[in-house]
Structures are given as structure tokens and as C-alpha cells.
Homo-oligomer: A and B are copies of this chain.
Amino acid sequence: MKRSTRNAAKAKKEIIEKSAAVFNVHGYAGTKMQMLVDATGYQMGGIYRHFETKMDLAKASFRHNYEVLIKRNFELAEELDPKEKLFTIFKNYQKSALDPQIPGGCPLLNTAIEMDDTDEEFRALAHLFIKEVLSTIEQILEEGKSAGFFDPMVNAKQEAQYLFASIEGAIMLSRVTKDIKPFLAIFNRAITHVEEKIIKNTR
């Protein structure tokens, strides 16, 4: 096959983008190099020119999936107020559930579960990304408290963990049942929770 590009950076990017989906669907151990050859259109050696090992490519793919996830779910217009920000994130997660950009479920969840006891470096990477997500949510909650939108009694850190855990659990449920309904149900439950427990009731 004739390759259209002879540009290293572009090729590397292309390989990552096409591999990322495969890893997220089949898991890192479950993904075979041959699958990546098929998915990327590159041959073995072409892939190995850009990545020392399969696991290096796996980590780059995970990072890519994370960035896509951040871009889709957490990239928020500056002018939004904290409440709007929080609901935008919710809306984005729902959109992602209904029309996934990354097949195979949430890469953070998948990677955390596969790597927690198998690959310390990989686990640490998942940990890092999850911390970033949690701290983004936490920050919005703190902003909301300062700005008088959210109940000042709210423990931002705990609430962020709670929201994130619920959503990841919801994703898992919908994936194992192959049914979007559990996700939507839990999701709405979580929104209600936000409305009732986090947002300051200006009655």
C-alpha cells in the first residue's frame, strides 16, 4: 500500500488517533499489534518507528483519549457562571453517552480498572488524569461557592468525587447492560442532587 504521508509527526499522530479507539474497546492487553496494523493502515515496522513498545503507544493513545474527553466534556466558555459550567459538563457527558466520540466507554474508567494492579506506571497516569478531572469539578464548585451560587456548606472535594463516581458507575452500568437507560436514570438523579444539595436555594 502506498502511504500518503512521509511526515513523521503527522504519521505518529495518525497512528495514535486510530489506535486510541482500538485500545479503549479491547483493553490494552486485549489489543494485539495486528489489530493496530489493520486499524492504522501502517505495517508493524511503521508503527514501531514511532513507538518503542506497544505499551508506549497504549499510553500515548490513552493520553489522546483523555484529551478528546477533556475537549468534549470539560472545555467550557469562560463567560459561563459556575452553575452553567456544571450543567454544561453534565450535558456534555450525556451527549457523549448518546453519541460517543470514543468507542468502548470511558477511557479513565477502563484504564483505571485494567491497570490498578497490573502496570504501576500506567495506573499512575490514569490517577493523574482523574485527579485533573476531579480538580476541575472541584474548582467550579469552589467558584460557585465564592460567587454565591452554591451552598457554602458544600465540601467541594467530596462533592466532586461523588459526582464523578456516580457518572462513572453509570457508564459502567449502561455498558454492561448495553442499554443507555441506566445511564440516563442515574444521570438525572445526579442532576437532581446538584439542584437540591449544591445549588443555593434562593427561596
Contacts and interface: CB of A to CB of B under 8 A. Distances in A.
Contacts of A189: 158-159, 161-162
Contacts of A178: 116, 123, 127
Interface stretch (A11-19, A81-89, A103-111): A103-111
Contacts of A131: 177
A169 interface: yes
Interface in A128-186: 130-131, 155, 157-159, 161-162, 164-170, 172-173, 175-178, 182, 185-186
A118 interface: yes
A26 B27 CA distance: 13
Nearest to A131: B177
Interface of A: 25-27, 29-30, 104-105, 109-110, 112-118, 123, 126-127, 130-131, 155, 157-159, 161-162, 164-170, 172-173, 175-178, 182, 185-186, 188-190, 193, 196-197
